Amino acid sequence: MEVAIVNTSGKETGKKVKLSAEVFGIEPNDHAIYLDVKQYLANQRQGTHKSKERAEINRTTKKLKRQKGTGGARAGSMKSPLFVGGGRVFGPRPRDYSFKLNKKLKHIACQSALTYKAKDNSIIVLEDFNMDQPKTKAYTDILNNLNLADKKVLLVLPDHNKNIYLSSRNLEKNKVTTASELNTYDVLNAQNLVLVQSSVPALENRLTK
């Protein structure tokens, strides 16, 4: 699959880049995508939830009333979950939600997500560019030139670029990542994928190892 390379003004440069069929043209595996997205979301959870059970409540254990003759059930402690302020029954405890997936499966999931984007013609290849200083206005102008101003955009760089990152982080619908950190969730969450020209071989090299 060949995609025309455009510049920051939104015009075609006359050059084209060939997207590898091993990364952008496989038979999508929906279950692999499901597992990878599930792992990503699980890893975002802190797992610090906690509620006090009756053993952790500081309340009296004195008998509240005589045990017989009241017509009601016996009550031996204010820590009981039956009373307001008592401990919770089987409350949440801190836990780790993360789980392991094989690298090969994660690669298949990412390739599947990229294939879906390629089939939808939602991939734009942008020629290499740099920013001399962080400036959100300059970054917004690039998006306007690419007709992506009101869309969710994921920009993939070959390496970390502080100025581009700082220029984009104030924009709600935009995210900047690198070829080495690209994940399935971010690809699917974006409406359009913008690949900087140098990031294409870096991404293909990573996903075909």
Residues of the chain with CATH 3.40.1370.10: 2-46+98-207
Instruction: Check pLDDT > 90 for residue 1.
Output: no
**Tens digits of per-residue pLDDT, 79-115?**
999 999 999 999 999 999 999 999 999 999 999 999 9
pLDDT in tens, 23-50: 999 999 999 999 999 999 999 999 999 9
Specify whether the CB–CB gap between 166 and 139 falls below 8 A. no
What's the CATH architecture for 2-46+98-207? 3-Layer(aba) Sandwich (3.40)
- Specify whether the CB–CB gap between 154 and 193 falls below 8 A: yes
Whether the pLDDT of residue 209 is over 80: the answer is no
Rounded CA Rg of the chain: 27
pLDDT tens-place string over residues 136-161: 999 999 999 999 988 999 999 999 99
Taking 90 as the threshold, does the pLDDT of residue 76 lie above it? no
